[in-house]
Chain A
């Protein structure tokens, strides 16, 4: 079990709370809620240790485009980077919907 915390600048507010994904092998859940400050805060709880660099690269790429001031909690159960990005995009889409 490893915890990773990252912070990103934000450009706009996030209107609502969303929850996507599932708790399950090779998958993850993303809980996203409006952040009180003008920044994005990410907390990753992952069952697989040693992938900090890959997490940072995936999250850097996501936040370059997302720009929302959100607190995001990710509970990961060994998802691939591609699946992580897909779930993050699903959460971003759900926020806009």
Chain B
């Protein structure tokens, strides 16, 4: 299984960015995965259809990537670790956006989450985010793997890399523009510390949830480490 069109294929070279959360990794062989809690049959089937996994938000271990496996059903998600040497290829959401990979999908016109990506691109460019955004979730997975998994009812998950603080007013303007699209768009602002939902940040409230590799926590500023609350999601529930 490979990406259609040479413009989307990327080899791993030292000049490429390190795979981060949301990066899709193509694995060499299923047997090289180290499973977190068992090895469900559906996961093997899914990986036979598309040998791609997604880097999940967890502290990396030496030479191991924390990855998630997606099955066809919403509850079919499981966690594993992939040895660095077993990564055959990788693609980031930004690479998919830069390559406009959605234009190569068959039947994209019938699927809003794919068909509207040209409009999404125009909005993000107009707000100064060219090269810093890309599709995540099922759309990112389909564009990387070429396995059809986005349905006409699918939402669109977007990832926006924002290493420098974004003003609440700018965030609200972007959210307003994206909210006018005729489908639900979820945007995660990826800061150096973790991710915050654009929908939450744009409200300008004093507390918001930051997703980090150590779990979720409430913060006042997603670009600063200080927290108004000691509550930590990773320790709150064992399940």
| Residue from A48, A82, A83 in contact with B75 in the complex, judged by beta carbons closer than 8 Å | A48
Chain B: interface secondary structure?
mixed
Residues of B close to A4: CB separation below 8 A: none
Q: Does the CB pair B237–A25 fall under 8 Å?
A: no
Residues of A close to B74: CB separation below 8 A: 47-49, 78
* A93 contacts partner chain B, Cβ-Cβ < 8 Å: yes
| Residue from A24, A50, A82, A93 in contact with B236 in the complex, judged by beta carbons closer than 8 Å | A82
* A39 contacts partner chain B, Cβ-Cβ < 8 Å: no
| Residue from A22, A85, A87, A90 in contact with B199 in the complex, judged by beta carbons closer than 8 Å | A22
Contacts A48-B74, A48-B75, A61-B237 given; does A86 touch B231 at CB 8 Å: yes
CB-nearest residue of chain A to B136: A25
* A23 contacts partner chain B, Cβ-Cβ < 8 Å: yes
Question: Interface residues of A, CB < 8 Å — how many?
Answer: 28
CB-nearest residue of chain A to B74: A48
Contacts A51-B75, A83-B209, A85-B236 given; does A25 touch B157 at CB 8 Å: yes
| Size category, B interface | 20 to 34
* B239 contacts partner chain A, Cβ-Cβ < 8 Å: yes
| Residue from A23, A27, A47 in contact with B209 in the complex, judged by beta carbons closer than 8 Å | A27
* A58 contacts partner chain B, Cβ-Cβ < 8 Å: yes
CB-nearest residue of chain B to A89: B231
| Residue from A22, A24, A58, A93 in contact with B237 in the complex, judged by beta carbons closer than 8 Å | A58
Contact with A along B152-184 (1 / 0, CB 8 A): 000101000000000000000000000000001
25 contacts between A and B (CB under 8 A): A21-B209, A22-B197, A24-B197, A26-B211, A27-B197, A47-B74, A49-B74, A50-B75, A54-B239, A80-B233, A81-B239, A82-B215, A82-B234, A83-B211, A83-B216, A83-B233, A86-B231, A86-B232, A86-B233, A89-B231, A89-B236, A90-B207, A90-B209, A93-B207, A93-B229
Instruction: Write the residues of chain A forming the contact surface with B, with a CB cutoff of 8 angstroms.
Output: 21-27, 47-51, 54, 57-58, 61, 78, 80-87, 89-90, 93
